[in-house]
Chain A
Amino acid sequence: MSPLSNLRMSEPLFSNSFLARTLRRRSFFRVVGATVATSTLVLAGCNDDNDPTPTSSTPSLTLGSGDNGLLNYAYLLEQLEAAFYQKVVDAFPSDFTAEDKAAFVDLRDHEVIHREFFRYALGTNAYDSAGTSLTFDFSSFTLTTRAGVYAAARTLEDTGVAAYNGAAKLITDVTSLRLLAKIASVEARHAAFVRDQAQPGSFAATDVITASGDAAGLDTAKTPLEVVELIAKFVPATIVASSLPTI
């Protein structure tokens, strides 16, 4: 277990106390480049059904403002996706084929690289630079069957595509915009692939690509606030996105 598990649950998630910082830094170095799942979150217990007051101890995850806020938002999405694929790779469904497994190792690797890239690029501006990685909650998915895993992947990848499409116009720095676009199309490739595996030929079906009207032929775009609402159930913290740019 991580030394973090010794911290009391009432401890704020991103405490700046010297003790917390020291412990988390040690944890940070241990998990860098490895998996999110190895780091135990202080508040894992908050999701415990027996906990009578889950809200009072739910920590806040503040994404910040401006381009840094948006990069933290992208970083959180990549953490989420990487954690998902890692969880699948750690325990493949019994009906996964060798091809499925190989693809998921690729997908895991891409998302881990995205996550680590953002972590590195953000440096001390990363929302979790104090060292604690989140343990995401995927209990709403069925990860024991091939169909369940691909359906889950479809949800996450489509959300990722919509998130990048919606965030682009909010970014002011041209280099950051270029980087988001480089990642956005990879997420779209992932989305098309997992959709086709979930249901053949659904790579660009009408639930994601508008079929008619003025927006015909366009992929989904969602604002950060819309995306935060969609991913809230996976994140064991209250995501505070209110300072992110909206225009």
Chain B
Amino acid sequence: MISTAQELHPTPVLEPGRTILELRGLEKRYPGTHALKPVDLAFKSGEIHAIVGENGAGKSTLIKLLTGVMPRTSGEIAWEGQPAALATPHEAMALGINAVHQEVVLCRHLTVAANMFLGEENSRFGILQQRAMVRQAQTIIDDLGFDLPAHVTLGDLTIGQQQLIAAARATVRGTKFLIFDEPTAYLTRKEADQLFTLIRRLKDEGVTIIYISHRMEEVFELADRVSVLRDGTLVGTRNIAETNDAELVKMMINRSIEQVYHKEHFTPGAAIIEARSLSGKGFENVSMTVRAGEIVGLYGLIGAGRSEFVTTLYGRHRKSAGQILWEGKEVQVNSEHDAIKLGMALAPESRRDQGLCLNLPVGFNLNLPIYKRISNNLLISSTQEKTQADRQIADLRIKTPTRGALASSLSGGNQQKIVIGKWLAHGAKLFIFDEPTVGVDVGTKAEIYRLFGALLSKGAGIILISSYLPEVYELADTLHVFRRGKLVATHGFHAASHEDILTQALAEKQEKLGGQI
């Protein structure tokens, strides 16, 4: 899992790039929190500068200050030597500062071309030159090496493809300073490679890149320098050649990396669920068993059929052939309701869209699956509602002022703990986690993995879906590899190498992999 990026990608010679943006004592206070303690940092033109840190370490705050989304409390920002107010997003863009966010913020109903030129449309006598714009957009996209059509509706593309468009969009606007916030969270490896090519090219053109990621190997693959934030403090900045991920993780969390993938082995018990030659929309002829006390990992690219398979188990989609056996008996799962009644729980992939009621309180979200249990036929027991929520918050160590705080006010990692935690009180037997640690920092990851252990010790079984190979590799007792809707390989714990598993998942173009995962 430890990357060897230094050998594979010789660290680019740092150009004697001039300082383009300098922060002097930059500071941000919210009522009650000191989100960013005075930071001094200088960014050079033509460098890729990674910023790492746990959720809540101050990365988002820093980005918001740099892009003019929020005003700073104190400190100075100098742009090309001149003091800059950076009070509005407009001012930041006028200087050439742009950001590509983790969640795509574009218009899904418009075409790719319309999105690329949004706000800077090409028009003649007030009439949009649509064909010309599609042509220009297509030229840009082809030029960047993305194999995507410019005339289709953005929403028809995958999230990963949309992310590439968002990146392409930022490059055509005279950008001098470009911030990527977790850009690869939803990308396949191939898409990520395309994005990296784009990023390196921008660097060669002298653009400063800020790259924020939780994935250490990406940081080592791309960055020239890396800065670490912890609890709003800049812990340090390193040249990438002079550090390693053990040091960075230590700086980030004050904890060693071995403690992250916390794996407990239990003797598997009876089968909880079994799929026999199950087929449905997006996958066919898949057979597997999940037993009590084991983690079954599903690995594959996005669109390989993993998510479709589990949503069919969960009753979201109808199976077209095959059988589902629950504790040895054949069952029909026609709805999520049926699945939950049997004892399944699903923590979905996208916590914003599927996992949380963001504008409702934390306690409400935690209790949602169990309201039936904590109410009699008519009324909810407010004592139980209170104690259940408080117990979950304490057990899961959710950082929230009270159970009444809105879910939207919590950091991503803590939101994810709610998505997972709400099923603990429910007492399910089979837990399905679909990409449980996307956009979650190392410390929270470790806590989530520890939760897995707690569930297994209580006799539950877990299906873990992940596009992040180290995660399934280190945690799964049985690892199934999906490719194009089929289950192509099955391995025991650590029974195959990363390379073999990747090859099985891709089975085509291997030259781009370059030993990186």
Decide if A and B are genuine partners. Answer: no
